[in-house]
Amino acid sequence: MSKIIVMIGAPGAGKGTQARLLSEKYGYPQISTGDILREMAQSDTELGRELKGILSSGNLVSDDILAEVIKERTSRDDCSSGYILDGYPRNLNQARLLEDLAVQQDRSIVFVRVIVHMDSLLRRLTGRRTCTRCGEIYNVYFRPPQKEGICDVDGAPLAQRSDDTAETVIRRLEAYKASTAPLVDYYNQDGRLVEVPGDLPVEQVFEKMCGLIDFSAS
Ligand code: AP5
Ligand code: MG
């Protein structure tokens, strides 16, 4: 049975960083709902403007929009042998919809929680820079590029996300605590949750995570 790997964690926990590595290793596509919504927010339409406002406020986008996004993206051919969800589900309603989708698609789900101390998150988020072309993720404190402001992989400029300001980060952390953190208990109960210590260096987090996912798949 093909797999859905779900990355869960606070803003800045390293979901995107680890999902990219998993995608390279297993060949599953990484589906980042944040990346998809940021892309949609760039269009000069009513929906684009609405999304732009929600993203820069740090609040969650509506479940209806997310349901459409997930349904469309996961039905593409590249998802046929499995996929990685980075940023979905984010509340109980989305979690229930995902369970239905997994049944429809005949897939099993592994939930991977990346745990990071709250104290580290602010520096991770305010220090983050992302490649505008390939999406590679850097950090001015923890993972600087060789040349300031330039991607090591493809030489494109790096950018800072508009929701990575100290003020919006606080709102995002509140949204995480209120809506997403309760999912951890929900998944813990049925034994499908694996927990990875996320305060280690990126490569060590990845190694531990792969061991746990392989283990849970056997
Ligand atoms: P989204 O883009 O998903 O943001 P998020 O959940 O806040 O998570 P981040 O992307 O900020 O963090 P991450 O865990 O991916 O960390 P990263 O690997 O980049 O969502 C944005 C918005 O979209 C939401 O606020 C909401 O409005 C909307 N949205 C998205 N999905 C939604 C949904 N399902 N429902 C409703 N609304 C939705 O790492 C962070 C930094 O730390 C980087 O600089 C990285 O280099 C560094 N780092 C990573 N790992 C390490 C390490 N081990 N050691 C040191 N530094 C590290
Ligand atoms: Mg991310």
Q: Establish if 145 belongs to a structural domain.
A: no
Q: Reduce the DSSP state of residue 148 to 3 states and report it.
A: coil
Q: Establish if 14 belongs to a structural domain.
A: yes
Could you say which of 123, 161, 171, 192 is catalytic? Answer: 161
Q: Is 172 a catalytic residue?
A: yes
Q: Which atom of ligand 1 approaches the CA of 17 most closely?
A: 18
DSSP tag of 24: H
Q: Is 147 a catalytic residue?
A: no
User: The domain that contains 35 carries what CATH number?
Assistant: 3.40.50.300
Ligand nearest to the CA of 204: 1
Contacts 24+ apart (CB under 8 A), 182-186: 182/92, 183/8, 183/89, 183/90, 183/91, 183/92, 183/95, 184/8, 184/113, 186/92, 186/95
Q: Establish if 168 belongs to a structural domain.
A: no
Residues with CB under 5 A from ligand 2 (ion): 16
Q: Establish if 128 belongs to a structural domain.
A: no
Exposure letters 11-33 (e unless 16+ CB within 10 A, then b):
bbbbbbbbbbbbbeebebbbbbb
* Ligand 1 pocket mutation, candidates 60, 64, 164, 206, criterion most atoms within 8 A of CB: 60
What residues line ligand 1, using a CB cutoff of 6 Å?
9, 11-17, 33-34, 37, 54-55, 58-61, 66, 87-88, 90, 94, 124-125, 127-128, 137-139, 142-143, 163, 172, 198, 201-202, 205
Sheet holding 82-86, edge to edge: 30-32, 82-86, 2-8, 107-115, 193-197
Q: Is 143 a catalytic residue?
A: no
Q: How far apart are CA 195 and CA 115, in angstroms?
A: 7
Q: Establish if 139 belongs to a structural domain.
A: no
Residue minimizing CA distance to atom 55 of ligand 1: 142
> What is the domain range of residue 10?
3-116+176-217
pLDDT in tens, the chain (218 residues): 689 999 999 999 999 999 999 999 989 999 999 999 999 999 999 999 999 999 999 999 999 999 999 999 999 999 998 999 999 999 999 999 999 999 999 999 999 999 999 889 999 999 999 999 999 999 999 999 999 999 999 999 999 999 999 999 999 999 999 999 999 988 888 888 999 999 999 999 999 999 998 544 43
Q: Give the pLDDT score at 69.
A: 97
- Our count of domains for the chain comes to 1
Q: Establish if 167 belongs to a structural domain.
A: no
Q: What predicted TM-score, i.e. pTM, was given to this entire model?
A: 0.95
Tell me the CA–centroid distance for residue 102 and ligand 2, in Å: 22
Show Cβ contacts of residue 89 under 8 Å, excluding neighbours closer than 6 positions.
Answer: 6, 95, 97, 98, 183
Cα dist. 162→39, 48, 60, 169 in Å?
Answer: 13, 15, 15, 10
Query: Average pLDDT, whole number, for the chain?
Result: 94
Tell me the CA–centroid distance for residue 12 and ligand 1, in Å: 5
Q: Is 128 a catalytic residue?
A: yes
Q: Establish if 131 belongs to a structural domain.
A: no
Q: Is 161 a catalytic residue?
A: yes
Q: Establish if 146 belongs to a structural domain.
A: no
Q: Reduce the DSSP state of residue 15 to 3 states and report it.
A: helix
Q: Give the pLDDT score at 213.
A: 86
Residue minimizing CA distance to atom 34 of ligand 1: 88
